[in-house]
Amino acid sequence: MPRVPVNLEGLAPPPAPLSSGIVADNILYVSGILPFDKNWKTVGAGDIRIQTRQVIENIKEVVETAGGTLDDVVFNSIFLRDLDDYRAMNEVYAEYFPVNPPARYCIQASLAPPDCLLEICSTAHLPR
């Protein structure tokens, strides 16, 4: 089965050996996305709403680069540094997935770098 990497234009080289996403059999696996800009700098330090928006916008860009939309996302794994941010994260998340939201789970986890409040990885079924 061929695997096709999905990498974003204008993105600085990643600080780890990874692709932004991989497509295999019309399924897109999006790497864990942190609230980084194109230069791998953290956006919105200390603000879960800003960071959630940045992460989902980054996911959206990967999905669109692969030929899909956020409507094609079927599963999200969400990692929060602090579960006290759960409600605020969900408020922003609901703006992006208002109808038939993807299946998901959310757990508390230590994240690196320390100014990142969340990380989300996604799976999308792309149109053929």
Phi and psi at 71, nearest 5°, equal -65, -20
Largest CA distance in the chain: 42
Q: Is position 116 annotated as part of the catalytic site?
A: no
Residue ranges per domain, the chain? 4-125
Phi and psi at 79, nearest 5°, equal -120, 120
Is the distance from CB of 95 to CB of 1 less than 8 angstroms? no
Place of tokens 């990643």: 14
Considering the four listed CATH numbers 3.20.19.10, 3.30.1330.40, 3.40.50.720, 3.30.830.10, the one that applies to the domain covering 4-125 is 3.30.1330.40
Q: What is the pLDDT of residues 18-70, one digit of tens each?
A: 899 999 999 999 999 999 998 889 999 999 999 999 999 999 999 999 999 99
pTM of structure: 0.96
Q: Which of 106, 111, 121, 126 is catalytic?
A: 106
Q: How many Å apart are CA 112 and CA 115, to the nearest integer?
A: 8
